[in-house]
Amino acid sequence: MRPLSALSVEDINGIDKVVFDLDDTLLSNGKLEEDAYSALFRLRVAGFTLIASTGRPASFAEVAVRQWPIQAAIAENGGVAFHCLDGPLTKLDTCPGHTRRERRARLETFTETLRNEFELQLADDNHGRITDVAFDIGEHHRVAPEVVERARNLARVSGFRTFCSNIHMHLTLDAFDKATGFAALMSNLQQDPVRELRRAAFLGDSANDGPAFAAFGLTLGVANVRKHLAKLTVAPRFVSHSTMGRGFSEIAARLVELRA
């Protein structure tokens, strides 16, 4: 990883979208602070299309698109999205309704297995989820890493996929991640997803951002990404000096400076 100060005009040449994680990237310990929120406005005024990408639920993403100066939000690690990129607010869920109901039933049954086997607690935002179930492993409850890994192993051999962020372990039957979720959104808009991945910068901090760090044309981490490098097969190319929301603001300022 190179320091943010090394980011050049050449590095952002052709970049017109900024895709960013929420928890511990835009948000600081779950809170949207003034400097990070202001940075969104500065990026938008500079001409960047802004797309949030998070493990948080669909309900969170819908509110974000309605209330923040962003054009889209991809939720549940790529499983579902809301956007207003080509008109009114639109929901994107590529899974047919009957398949979604079948997957939901399987998720709920296996959730009880994991809760009973490992004494896991559900995250407090599950009521707003469509494509996955989230367990609280670090937001309000601390779960030992070895317990999380055993739970993930059982999920994998049982046919489920898992993602871990700093705060949640996600359980899903969908085949998306933060990179393929972005690609699906672009395809839905009749855009070439390969081209759009090259034209987008991704900002993140943790393990569930790994697929995005590997796929996007320009990748940047807030400083707290250093704690998660062992879990990443590909690190972000550039890293901020500051952590969390202040790091986001620092990266935004550099992008706006170079864009100008």
Whether pLDDT at 86 is above 90: no
Whether pLDDT at 215 is above 90: yes
Q: Please give the CATH number for the structural domain made up of 2-93+176-259.
A: 3.40.50.1000
E strand or H helix that includes residue 220: strand 218-221
Whether pLDDT at 87 is above 90: no
% pLDDT > 90, the chain:
97
Q: How far apart are CA 248 and CA 203, in angstroms?
A: 8
What is the rounded average pLDDT of the residues 221-248?
96
% pLDDT > 70, the chain:
100
- 150-201: pLDDT as tens digits: 999 999 999 999 999 989 999 999 999 999 999 999 999 999 999 999 999 9
- 235-249: pLDDT as tens digits: 999 999 999 999 999
Q: How far apart are CA 74 and CA 58, in angstroms?
A: 8
Q: How far apart are CA 62 and CA 83, in angstroms?
A: 8
- pLDDT at 62 (0 to 100): 97
Phi, psi angles (nearest 5°) of residue 2? -110, 150
- pLDDT at 89 (0 to 100): 95
Q: Report the sign of the C-alpha dihedral through residues 214, 217, 218, 222, in that order.
A: negative
If pLDDT is split at 50, 70 and 90, which confidence band does 202 have?
Answer: very high
CB 248 within 8 A of CB 36: yes
Ranges of each domain in the chain: 2-93+176-259, 97-172
- pLDDT at 85 (0 to 100): 87
Structure tokens at 246: 């202040």
Q: How far apart are CA 221 and CA 70, in angstroms?
A: 20
What rounded mean pLDDT belongs to the chain?
A: 96
End-to-end CA distance of the chain: 24
- pLDDT at 101 (0 to 100): 96
Task: State the CATH architecture for 97-172.
Answer: Alpha-Beta Complex (3.90)
Confidence (pTM): 0.94
- pLDDT at 6 (0 to 100): 98
Phi, psi angles (nearest 5°) of residue 73? -145, 125
Whether pLDDT at 123 is above 90: yes
Closest to 182 measured CA to CA, from 160, 206, 218, 212: 212
Q: How far apart are CA 214 and CA 85, in angstroms?
A: 25
Q: Which amino acid belongs to residue 161?
A: R
CB 130 within 8 A of CB 80: yes
Q: Which amino acid belongs to residue 187?
A: S
What is the rounded average pLDDT of the residues 35-49?
98
CB 42 within 8 A of CB 256: yes
